[in-house]
Structure 1
């Protein structure tokens, strides 16, 4: 144990924490330890910077030079002339051939260098803070770019292999069940009719290819999107997903979801039979379709998702399928994909958390039971298996989805910063093993609870710092939603006073804020390029603000329907491009396109049963994109989760 403790104290990598490495460099500079500073930077260069691409080398060398200049400026600022002369005597052989150091050798002989036009900028607080921020960003980028050791990825590869094996076994079981249920003659009829109808589909595709080849070389073949659109978007003979013959022309062809096939089957038989030249009876195909559809429970098919609007097939997204997952018995509070989209963690008001996969068929992989309402869930950094969850009782858990266990719990233990509190929201840093936890502490006299923002270290489970919330003295400020920027240095938080605040995580200070809504900020998210902030407020307004211009309002729109009161969290989510947003609605969930003037409706994901305050409504959403296909999750107040599979056209 002593040997391990000594190694930890002498650890030059500082646990691969960018903030701790920057702090160590500052310590060496303030203690005028040039040798230790050089050794520390050499270790970083050999172990980390050398593994980056070659185009990073100029930036690394420039930062190294700036760190040394910071050292020299610190000696001058504190009248350490002997340390400054020692620096030039030891470093002259290395620096004299570098053009950026040519004028610095005159520094010991310049009187009042802080007033010189050459050196004045280096004495400013702005330059020094910018240097440390740039160094932190470089280190964070380095840790994200360098490949992990092979041994570290062994367990992830094993989990991936087990998932693939389970997927193969599931498909084999489905194929075997189809073979047992169908007799030889029935299978022969289905295969023959499917072959004939699919040949008609690809005859149309081939015919389009032949025609286009005579007009343009660029259109000689159809892409996957066009093939999917032809097969599933209303071709007269297409049996896939139960699509029906439509009377409209190809320019106005519409599609219907699989949930509406059974309702319209009787009215479409006559229309289909009168327009087909072959394959008059579609019942074998429909029967096969029903057998092949995924089951969420052994005794029932996926339930109907309600009346879905029928959008045009020439829109940006095509709805391929829609099912309902029924694994919770109470209202959903959170549902989130992990970073790769392979797993989903969903929680409810009963304290039940389910970890499940959406492909090839929804399957529950792990279940966690908490003592209170689950109010927040977030996956930890780049990890595919660990996630953080917070409860209304004031407990925070680190859970391992692969081992199906709770790694640690931080709650009402003596000395815990969360003792006697209730958790409002948790958010994990994308670059560091740390989380931000928003909590509320009750006031003894029964007044408004006091809000706190805690920065917690995941490894040590200790409080690193508390972020200050400055609001109107007449009431307490509670943070109901927050998110990090891409490198984890900034935190954007929305509070109950309608104000959005931006925090510098390294300093623990709030350096910018603006009034976004009249009432609470219910949900917020940053744009894909991290230059804009989108917020949804209790006043029913959805707006975009420019982060580079101190909350400048780009546009603001009022949602056509009110949100359910008392809901905080993820009420809207963007696709991977950031051009389309899925918004929770009380009666309807819809995808909208973001443009410079506001939102444009694109696709409805269906009416919520009993909408308008008479039943289930949406409480949480998430969106995962992979190539041209993506999956949307909508958690409902009745415990159901609506799964929509989309194809980007």
Structure 2
């Protein structure tokens, strides 16, 4: 049991770091703040604390860099090399040669071993260092030293600097000279070995080899590269092992549902097979009956023909016999000829088969009718002017069960289900899958449904807000209403809902009949309100809400055009700024970017804007959609990002949704097909799939693939 304790401690540390609970640990990760980590590294370098620097970097390597893909190893090594060189440069600038010497005492063997490893692309050369004046002429003459080293291969700049040091030392009467073999980098190899000359150079800042490292541009580039890398690392931290059980649970549930669906499909196919077998047996029986009837008719016709033939012959014989005693008259000959004609007609007449001909015609017609319809060709959306569309639309599924405009449509947190809300007072659920599911249901409310939200921690609870104070809590698995919460009477419209991704809290945006509004926080465990978030400078209706990844911050967009950011641990506003024209309708959509350093928003004024959170809502860029061909321009509504944070989809006043590229700051594609304005959008959490809800009362699910 004791041997498992360190492993469990490590799992807990990993989980706490992932959730951002760094206060529970010695906050060596600096709360995932890149700025704090850079400040700590700079402080260690400024204090010439080599041990502390190495220890801090090892901490980052152990708990963060080691979890990255193996393809990132080269980048980690390059940043470590740059950090150590920055340490050396700072020590030289501070005239701390003792620190430089200590560095090579500590790292010299390791750097030497790495440089001389097979396949490193290094060559051997000889460089004279202080105390080597007696053999300095060998370098000038291009001679060789022991071990086959070729002095002429040493870079000329390094030779001039280091050999000059050696000669100066020899001229001043220092200790006896000696040749020291020094490895340096050849073409395409690493260049650490050139740095072994750093402790003996009088003015390395002016030396061509080291001069670039003493420039401000190099230091700035290093700091920016390290900051970008750390941001990428913190965004890509893998899921802790303690949370992996939930993925396994969801995977198992999905597999069990698939097994049940396949079993149902097997039963259905078996029933179809039995039906088809019965039909085939019935057809075979009818064929045999028809064949028997046909044979009987042929035999009957043959018997009748034979009988008529016999009768004709008998009549002819009787005529001949009666005519023998007397002369044959012309009339008798005519009668005989007529009888012979009857016989010939009976024998030569073909027998028609009307049933066979009719059956053949019916079979031919049946085959033709089954293969007469060709499938309609697939269609693609037209790209917006000025660029190629990044996605190919594989297909669109249309759901037209609602009877009034769509107000909200959402994927569940695991992407397995879809919920849509409408002004017809219903919420409809169905499974995002090709197999039938028991989750499909209809929730009926007494008023138009204005807002919708999945509880993300379990995906078993759905919240729906109406225009008459109601917030309904619906159990998806049990298909029943669990509870109905009531908003205050003076703010009856539940316009927005947002559930915390890390706790049992949800926030509801409430609006009155006038322009005022409030933000209330409820606890899902107690079903009681816990606090009200303050809105300044004056109360306003909220049109959009979004939590960050750990639920610590909430961003809210208001009908007054303001964007407000709240600290959810205390319920206090952190910052707020005017973002859109309140007279035009204010903010219509808001969300955090994936790195959570900025916020994107759009408004009824037709502006699509990205705001910095580091400098109190300063505008990073703004895109004006007014009059834009292909997006409808003007009013935008709804906003959802894809799982990678590269693209987002917004609703437009035209009959389609517009896909924006976050970094290019412009629309790149549209998803059409609706007959009226698109008011609700969402993006699948893991797949390239978008959902759009329109005022034409339809919901469209568009399956996409990346274009090459």
- The yes-or-no answer on 1:433 pairing with 2:504 is yes
Cα pair distance change 1:308/1:315, threshold 3 Å: closer
> Which residue in 2 is equivalent to 1:239?
none
SS of the equivalent of 2:440 reads strand
Measured against aligned partners, the alpha-carbon deviations of 1:213-263 in whole angstroms (never above 9, x if no partner) come to: xxxxxxxxxxxxxxxxxxxxxxxxxxxxxxxxxxxxxxxxxxxxxxxxxxx
**1:162 aligned residue:** 257
Q: Does 1:368 align with 2:329?
A: no
Give the distance between the partners of 1:605 and 1:548, measured in 2 at CA: 34
Aligned partners of 2:617 and 2:274: how far apart in 1? 61
- Give the match for residue 14 of structure 1: none
- The aligned runs of 1:525-604 (5 Å cut-off) are 525-560=591-626, 571-594=638-661, 596=663, 598-601=665-668, 603-604=669-670
Aligned to 1:277: none
- 1:544, 1:179 → 2: CA distance? 62
The C-alpha deviation readout for 1:554-584, integer Å capped at 9, x for no partner, is 111122459999999x623221122222222
What does residue 341 of structure 1 align with? 415
SS at match of 1:530: coil
Aligned residues of 1:375 and 1:391 also touching (Cα < 8 A): yes
CA distance in 1, matches of 2:9, 2:475: 29
- 2:269 and 2:653 map into 1 onto residues whose CA distance is 37
8 Å Cα contact 2:396/2:701 also seen in 1: yes
Shift of 1:589: 2.4
506, 529, 532: which is aligned to 1:466? 532
Separation in 1, partners of 2:554, 2:653? 29
Q: 1:179 to 1:623 in 2, by over 3 A?
A: farther
More helix by share: 2
Q: Structure 1, residues 378-400: CA drift from partner, whole Å, max 9, x if none?
A: 11122122121111111112211
Q: 1:377 to 1:406 in 2, by over 3 A?
A: same
Question: For the structure 1 residues 648 and 374, does the alpha-carbon distance in structure 2 shift closer, same or farther, using more than 3 Å as the test?
Answer: same
Among candidates 361, 381, 384, match of residue 459 of structure 2: 384
- Pair 556,314 (structure 1): closer, same or farther in 2 beyond 3 Å: closer
- SS of structure 2 residue aligned to 1:147: helix
Alignment partner, residue 76 of structure 1: none
Output one character per residue of 1:144-165: Cα deviation in whole Å (capped at 9) or x when no partner: 8463697998799557623552
How far off its partner does 1:454 sit? 0.8
Structure 1: how far apart are the matches of 2:518 and 2:681?
A: 26
1:503–1:580: structure 2 CA closer, same or farther, 3 Å change rule? same
8 A contact 1:587–1:607 mirrored in 2: no
User: Which residue in the other structure is 1:518 paired with?
Assistant: 581
Q: Deviations over 1:177-223 (max 9, x none)?
A: 79989999xxxxxxxxxxxxxxxxxxxxxxxxxxxxxxxxxxxxxxx
Q: Contact 1:381–1:433 at 8 Å: present in 2 too? A: no
Q: Distance in 1 between matches of 2:371 and 2:447?
A: 47
* 1:324 corresponding residue in structure 2: 398
| Aligned-partner SS, 2:382 | coil
Give the aligned length.
403
Q: Check whether the contact 1:305–1:322 (CA below 8 A) recurs between aligned residues.
A: no
> SS at the partner of 2:600?
strand
4+ residue segments displaced more than 3 Å: 44-57, 59-67, 144-160, 167-184, 282-290, 304-308, 310-315, 361-364, 417-420, 560-568, 590-593
Q: 2:425 aligns with which of 351, 364, 377?
A: 351
The secondary structure found in structure 2 opposite 1:452 is: strand
Contact 1:394 1:419 in 2 (8 A): no
* Alpha-carbon contact 2:604-2:635 (below 8 Å) kept: no
Which 5+ residue runs of structure 1 have no aligned equivalent? 1-43, 68-98, 101-140, 185-281, 291-303, 443-447, 610-615
Q: Distance in 1 between matches of 2:266 and 2:388?
A: 32
Equivalent residues of 1:394, 1:420 under 8 A apart: yes
Q: What CA RMSD, in Å, does the superposition of the two structures yield over aligned residues?
A: 4.7
SS at match of 1:497: coil
Q: Structure 2 stretches of 5 or more lacking a match? A: 29-54, 57-235, 281-367
Give, in angstroms, the shift of residue 52 of structure 1. 4.0
Q: Using the alignment, how far apart are the partners of 1:646 and 1:435 within structure 2? A: 32
Q: Is the 1:554–1:596 contact (alpha carbons within 8 Å) kept by the matching residues of 2?
A: no
Compare 47-56 and 505-514 and name the one that shifted more.
Answer: 47-56
- CA deviation after TM superposition for structure 1 residue 322, in Å: 1.6
Q: How does 1:443-522 map to 2 (within 5 A)?
A: 448-472=514-538, 476-519=539-582, 520-522=586-588
Aligned-partner Cα distance in 2 for 1:566–1:372: 29
Q: What whole-Å deviation, never above 9, does each CA across 1:571-603 have from its counterpart, x for those lacking one?
A: 2322112222222222242443425452042x3
Q: Supply the distance in 1 between the matched residues of 2:372 and 2:263 (Cα, whole angstroms).
A: 24
Secondary structure of 2:681 counterpart: strand
